[in-house]
Amino acid sequence: MGIPDVIGFTVDEAVQVLDTVGIIHYEVEVLSPPGHTESGYDKHYRVIRINAVESSKVKLLVCKPLKL
């Protein structure tokens, strides 16, 4: 099973696509500008990288969009 390309998707959209191919476990890491710290993320954040951790688990690197 391959990992779908969800780069550019919102976190919400990416999780839905991953779920359809059986990837139900995921980690989310938030990328922040230097000097800033993000305390979390919401469904509007965008996926900028996806890495396989295990056969049914991925790690999503996400960032806050410029404007909501």
Choose among 1, 2, 61: nearest CA to 26: 61
Q: What is the mean pLDDT of residues 29-46?
A: 84
Q: Please report whether residue 68 resides in a domain.
A: no
Choose among 35, 29, 20: nearest CA to 64: 29
Answer yes or no: is pLDDT of 26 > 60: yes
pLDDT of residue 68: 55
> How many domains in the chain?
1
pLDDT of residue 38: 73
- Please, are residues 14 and 59 in contact by the beta-carbon 8 Å criterion? no
Choose among 13, 54, 53: nearest CA to 29: 53
pLDDT digits (tens, 9 = 90+) for 9-20: 999 999 999 999
Q: Please report whether residue 1 resides in a domain.
A: no
Q: Please report whether residue 38 resides in a domain.
A: yes
Domain that holds residue 42: 11-63
Distance CA(14)–CA(7), nearest Å, equals 8
Q: Please report whether residue 5 resides in a domain.
A: no
